[in-house]
């Protein structure tokens, strides 16, 4: 026996219940639609805070710990490493925020579009009553983006965007690089404290000893918090990719209607086919190649 939720879902799938006469034609695309950006106050504030926190870590690492260090090789190596990872983290954040996560065209559930699908007798499709669009399988409506998103995992205010089919790679890279720079910062703070305890505090920083301690403690708190949060999120995302099941699908315990693929193939679907160094680059758009994004059980 089906639950009420399943019965409602079956009704939505029947073409006779789509009511295309209630949908206006989709708005024409303009030049302002070329870049994806969600105008959500909370998300914009969270995104700005994310960048400011990274810049604060940059300031403390460079001006408090590395520049005053006597060992030039130590400063140069850690400066290049930290700044390189921070740059990749911010680039990943920008790509995750400004990339269309897989939005379904809004208002395309018109009579003309439904007729153009040439549905066979008994064939069914979804219609989203909120954005009036034909919703593909594994798509869900986001109340913040106000769009249906293909393979939507969740809406993340820290990137001011949904994590979906087209930008999951950038979100995973963002969490990975933030976790790495947080770990790196914590290790440098530990070494700096050891060095300052052995030497005169006035010689190990360009700032006064009290200011140095406060700046380092704040960086420790920030690094530890971000390391735990992003490491857990990174692990959750990788597990979700390997099992080919989004966060919403796991939360709603939706019936699996798509074919099971290997974990390696699922990784290629998100990061690109074949495996290459481009997997680690936020500037490389994933090339799915032979990796089939949608493969359903017949």
Residue-wise pLDDT for 195-237, tens only, equals 877 677 667 778 888 888 899 999 999 999 999 999 999 999 9
Using pLDDT thresholds of 50, 70 and 90, give the confidence band for residue 20. Answer: low
73-94: per-residue pLDDT in tens?
999 999 999 999 999 999 999 9
**Taking 80 as the threshold, does the pLDDT of residue 288 lie above it?**
no
As a three-state string, the secondary structure of the chain is CCCHHHHHHHHHHCHHHCCHHHCCCCCCCCHHHCCCCCCCHHHHHHHHHHHHHHHHHHHHHHHHHHCCCCCHHHHHHHHHHHHHHHHHHHHHHHHHHHCCCCECCCCCCCHHHHHHCCCCCCCCCEEECCCCEEECCCEEEECCCCEEEECCCEEECCCCEEECCCCHHHHHHHHHHHHHHHHHHHHHHHHHHHHHHHCCHHHCCCCCHHHHHHHHHHHHHHHHHHHHHHHHHHHHHHHHHHHCCCHHHHHHCCCCCECCCCHHHHHHHHHCCCCCHHHHCCCCCCCCCCCCCCCECC
156 counts as catalytic: yes
Output the pTM of the full model: 0.85
> Using an 8 Å Cβ cutoff, are 91 and 153 in contact?
no
Please report the pLDDT score of residue 24 as a whole number.
52
Which residues are bridge partners to 139 per DSSP?
A: 150
Annotated catalytic residue, options 23, 131, 148, 156: 156
């Amino acid at each position: 026996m089906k639950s009420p939720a399943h019965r409602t879902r079956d009704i939505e799938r029947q073409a006779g219940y789509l009511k295309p006469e209630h949908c206006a034609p989709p708005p024409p695309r303009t030049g302002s639609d070329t870049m994806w950006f969600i105008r959500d106050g909370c998300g914009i504030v969270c995104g700005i805070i994310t960048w400011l926190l990274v810049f604060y870590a940059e300031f403390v690492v460079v001006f408090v710990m590395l520049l005053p260090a006597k060992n030039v090789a130590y400063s140069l190596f850690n400066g290049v490493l930290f700044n390189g990872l921070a740059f990749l983290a911010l680039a990943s954040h920008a790509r995750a925020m400004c990339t269309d996560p897989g939005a379904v065209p809004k208002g395309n559930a018109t009579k003309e579009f439904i007729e153009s699908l040439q549905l066979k007798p008994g064939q069914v499709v979804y219609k989203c009553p909120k954005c009036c669009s034909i919703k593909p399988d594994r798509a869900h409506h986001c109340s913040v983006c106000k769009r249906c998103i293909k393979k939507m995992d969740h809406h993340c205010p820290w990137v001011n965007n949904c994590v979906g089919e087209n930008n999951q790679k950038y979100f995973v890279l963002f969490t990975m690089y933030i976790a790495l720079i947080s770990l790196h910062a914590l290790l440098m703070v530990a070494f700096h404290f050891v060095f300052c305890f052995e030497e005169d505090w006035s010689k190990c920083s360009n700032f006064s000893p009290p200011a140095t301690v406060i700046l380092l403690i704040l960086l420790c708190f920030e690094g530890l918090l971000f390391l735990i949060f992003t490491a857990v999120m990174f692990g959750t995302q990788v597990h979700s990719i390997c099992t080919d099941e989004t966060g919403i699908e796991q939360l709603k315990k939706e019936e699996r209607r798509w074919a099971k693929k290997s974990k390696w193939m699922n990784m290629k679907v998100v990061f690109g086919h074949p495996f290459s160094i481009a997997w680690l680059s936020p500037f490389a758009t994933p090339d799915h190649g032979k990796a089939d994004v949608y493969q359903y059980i017949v």
